[in-house]
Amino acid sequence: MTERDDHPALKGWQSREGELLVGNVPITSLARRVGRTPFFAYDRARLKTRIAELRAELPERLTLHYAIKANPMAALVCFLAERVDGFDVASAGELTKALDAGMAPSKIGFAGPGKTDQELTQALAAGVLVEVESGGELARLSGLAADIGATPRIALRINPDFQLKGSGMRMGGGAQQFGIDAEDAPQIIADGRARGLEIQGFHIFAGSQNLNAETIAEVQTKTLDLALRLADLLASPMRYLNLGGGFGIPYFPKDRPLDLARVGESLATVVDTLAEAQPQARPVLELGRYIVGEAGLYVTRVIDRKVSRGEVFLVTDGGLHHHLAASGNFGQVIRRNFPLVIANRMGAAPQERASVVGCLCTPLDLLADKASLPRAEVGDLVAIFQSGAYGLTASPTAFLGHPDPAEVLV
């Protein structure tokens, strides 16, 4: 087990006869079934549970979107298409995946600060909502729509004049590449009117990976206030309000899971206020990491066990080329171990401190630094938790020419 059995990431994972279970399949069997290591495994039951938790705690009128960027695995996107109310996409590639999964274009929003003309044309042809991030983009979109005779569906992404404090990443407030500064929005709305464009509403997203319910609640309230102020400038009643997401998951021992009930309470007020002020506005919550992050494992096999100058190294067939975030090299300022276990020795007492490293010829390829683990041998399986979001696709898979990992939905 990890250094702390009470690590919040381990909650809900079961084991049997020392084997970690994924979708009730023992990890050794699962590795045989996949046919090779390393692999990512995503647990359907955990995805369903997470969505049920969200549905239970969030107001019924709230529309739940999945942000594909967190994990675009095709089978997973198809699975979620049946269970959420819409998708958010960040590229034409993700748009294709959303449409392939059968999501209705009217339920897809496309955001991104650098949409190309090609991407805007694809979005227009598909009929999805384009979340416009600048005056320049609005002009391009307008021109392209005229060229192909399409009526664009438009929302404005707004860079708010407040921040989401304590976020893993700040995506709003201050100077930003994202969205239209709140104070510039009136001018852009007027510009849209002058171009004869209908702006349906707004997308306001202040930050991601936040574990503090009070902070999230406060930002959602501010977001609503800002949106209502801007809605008065629209030519027609507001029909869309994307409140962003930013719900965090606990990666490290001191992290406490987000108090979803508290966020739900606050959102109920937001949704009620919105319904009163702008009854046609559909409130959208956009979640990626929170839906899939805790449902996924990265599994890699121990190839070598070596002791160098008194320290134990477990050399695996995986590494940062598959799971950059676990190596601490994806936006982290301080490297901390992701929660991990020897997945075929569950329940065994920790016996040693061992560093788990990948197979790459670089000292960056560190999956766990001196973790407290039972003694692992060559052939054992290491499982890294909290790997369902920003894992495979956020990693440099071609680095050093190793094969891609497998991915399975179990």
Amino acid at 72: P
Q: If you write DSSP's letter for every residue of 293-355 in order, what string do you get?
A: GGGEEEEEEEEEEEEETTEEEEEES--TTT-TGGGT-SS-SS--PPPEEETTSTTPPP-EEEE
Choice between 15 and 355, CB closer to its own copies? 355
Nearest approach in angstroms of CB 38 to its own copies is: 11
- By the rule CB under 8 A, 268 interacts with its own copies: no
Considering the rule CB under 8 A, would residue 364 count as an interface residue with its own copies? yes
Give SS3 for 223: helix
Contacting its own copies within 102-131 (CB under 8 A): 111-116
**Rounded Cα gap, residues 285 and 311, in angstroms:** 46
Residue 187 found at the interface with its own copies (CB under 8 A): no
Site string for its own copies, 380-399 (x = CB under 8 A): ------------xxxxxxxx
Among 150, 303, 348, 406, binds its own copies (CB under 8 A): 303
> Do the Cβ atoms of 212 and 247 come closer than 8 Å?
no
Residue 162 contacts its own copies per CB under 8 A? no
Name which of residues 70 to 99 contact its own copies (CB under 8 A).
72, 89-94, 96-97
Which DSSP state fits 361?
S
Q: Which stretch binds its own copies (CB under 8 A): 234-242, 243-251, 258-266, 311-319?
A: 311-319
- Residue 347 tokens, joined: 């329940």
Query: Of residues 316-345, which lie at the interface with its own copies (CB under 8 A)?
Result: 316-317, 319, 324, 329-331
Three-class DSSP category at 250 = coil
Task: Answer yes or no whether residue 279 interacts with its own copies by CB under 8 A.
Answer: no
Using CB under 8 A, pick the residue from 150, 228, 275, 315 that binds its own copies: 315
323 vs 345, beta carbon nearer its own copies: 323
Chain position carrying tokens 């001191």: 254
Instruction: Please state the separation of Cα 12 from the chain's center in Å.
Output: 20
Q: Is residue 367 within 8 Å of 318, Cβ to Cβ?
A: yes
Question: Interaction with its own copies in 16-75: which residues (CB under 8 A)?
Answer: 68-69, 72
